[in-house]
Structure 1
Amino acid sequence: MINSKRSYEQLKCFFVFNKKVFMDPRYIIYPSLIEALTTLNIACEVVFEEQLEGKLDEIGKKDTVIFVNSYLLDITSIKAHDILAKIKGVKLSIGFDDEYRYRWTFNFAQHMHKILTFDPVTLEYLSQLGVDCSFCPHPLKEVQINHAKKVNDNYDVSFIGRVSPDKPMRYKLLKAVENEFPNSFIPGMHGQYVNLEIMHSAFQASKVNLNLTGISDFNFDHPLPFQQLRRGFKGRPFEIGACGGFCLSELSPSIQRALAGTNAIDFFEDIDECLEKIEYYLKHVDVRIAKARQLNIFTQSNILSNQSSNLFGNEVLNTIRSYNKLGVPKTLYERYPDYKIDNNVQPSMELERLKCLMKNHEFFNFIKQTLYLYRQNFLCAFMISGQLVGSMFRFLVRKKKL
């Protein structure tokens, strides 16, 4: 449990996390969320989801409860309704992957007073429903470069990220980059995992750092037209910026929006344009260095969680102040009780939750939650099991083809 001293405004936030994900050192974004608020003298306490029900009496009307990546929480849709409705304070949700988890996002959104999202579609849709919703990039902790363990200073191109069978377009692009620029550092193409130290060193040492933004998971209930062409928000460009590197990114309106007109990143739309721009920036060193400097300045000022100017912390702080002054708005659940998402098992949401447990190798929780679903609704659980087996089969087929 993490606590910090309350400020003179007596502001306090309870962060609700999935315990295993929060404790995983790979998810460095979660400590940065807390630091972004404590830097602004907001007292913070971490509550793991299994503790939330027991904390309800401690949460006052002026406190704020922040749910982080709600789709990762093990709270079933049935229990979530009951718990969320009992929280007396302000409820805020942050969704890093809203761009393809609409049903799950909206299940939580109906109980939230405020949504912070990085996806323009979610932003506009929720805003049309009257939900207080803001677009805000997530913060990052300051990067400490260990110069004694830097990777090769002479790499022309680097890409750090997942390369898997469910992203064939990504594999095709990176293969073309490796063929055209053999002096590249793309460990994911060869099944290699790198730690944060090597990743940050690569960002600083490489001349061109690629950022790819394709969305690989899709909404099962109401897939959007051209879904496979959508490009979501990724925080990787700002990690590159924090390391002083230059970023060439796949086109993403979300990232463009986050930059707020700052010309610190260049974008490409297809493989040919990617190769052309890599060639250009390898030849034009001054232009590349100038853009890298712009990105570093933007990141230092707006993204780093230890800066009082960080966008995320100030968005939360301004929201709390506004609600204290003008009153807390009603949630969708309170305003439109006849239109609420029913308090029952939602197949697509439960499927997504079980898939997350499998991906995180939480096999005990997977079995426990599956048995719970069978007790609640046998037919629904049977449908989910069939869809899960189908998803695993399709994954293996794609993997074999690659």
Structure 2
Amino acid sequence: MLRPIVLAFVLGTPALADPITTGPRPLYLIDQMAPGPLRDKLLSCAGDPVQRTLFSIGHRGAPLQFPEHTVESNMAAARMGAGILECDVTFTSDKELVCRHAQNDLHTTTNILATDLAANCTAGFVPADGDAKASAECRTSDITLAEFRTLTGKMDAANTNARTVEEYMDGTAGWRTDLYAADGGDLMTHAESIALFKSLGAKFTPELKSPAVDMPYDGFTQEDYAQKLIDEYKSADIPASDVWAQSFNLDDVLYWIRAEPEFGAQAVYLDGSYRIDGWNPDAPETWTHQMDDLKAMGVNYIAPPTWVLMTLDGGKIVPTRYAIDARAAGIDIITWTMERSGPLQDGGGWYYQSIKDVINSDGVMYEVIDVLAQDVGVKGIFSDWPATISYYASCMGLE
């Protein structure tokens, strides 16, 4: 039996009747801020209604508290004012597109290991033994779409010290919660995500995920894969102006620019070159591509992680050369991901690594967001809890 919220978007009825609300977290963060003009400005908006804004992007929905890429997670993100929602796109064994962050993450994001489908997994559960950590690998390409539909979502986590499947599946970080995952979350196909996001009044940013299988896969080429993603928007009569298709694979972006120029105009290059040894956001000679070269290829949007865009100058957070050069080349910037690092008392972790010396409390979060918005000039910020970004964007009058 379909749950009521799933039935609503399947039937094409509006799924969101509630006003946009951000809850207590934005003001909690503002309360932690040092006194100053930014804190005063944000406090002055406390009684104002929050508007939906394209600046606020739901990263896999709202996975700080809801199982990612589920109906429930995206409903929560939309109710917090996210104007753009994300489906990370991969495919099943029968080449149907579904929403998962990776083709090989079913063992950490769903209940597959507790079902009979565990027998289909690329690598079954292996318990921890001495220094060897517990492991498993379950891919969407291990199962059909019909089988995928029998699964439910869970918080993305694994206990690698586990001796049993139950222990392995019970690894949610203490600063997240399983409160909204007790009954599992409803998984979606990519086409279903389009219907849901449209019913929520949101726009779309699908990411074409790198396959875990060799391509071509049973005759399904990388270009077939990239084209099928676009075709599902065209079949749903979604205008290209409402879609920001993403990929870490520059060839995917260039394919969309060439084969689907209306969609390609807003295609987002997720620049992963920061992974290269010696890469430095303030040293263009270490970059794989210069910004002018990307612009000449037709790339209009680029999306690095937050730390790539910020550095410190005398203890002040300022834009990096990477950010400055992108804007000078006429490339718009989107960035990821706020609310993904847990509490910020000890430097904030990976997403704040370039400015860790000034990250000492959750109160710095809005300072970071303000630098990204006002000094770097990003067009949107992904967040695992979109209320934080929605509050800021609405208060500052951002679209």
Assess same fold via TM > 0.5.
no
**TM-score, normalising length: structure 2:** 0.28
Q: Larger Cα Rg: Structure 1 or Structure 2?
A: 1
**TM-score, normalising length: structure 1:** 0.27
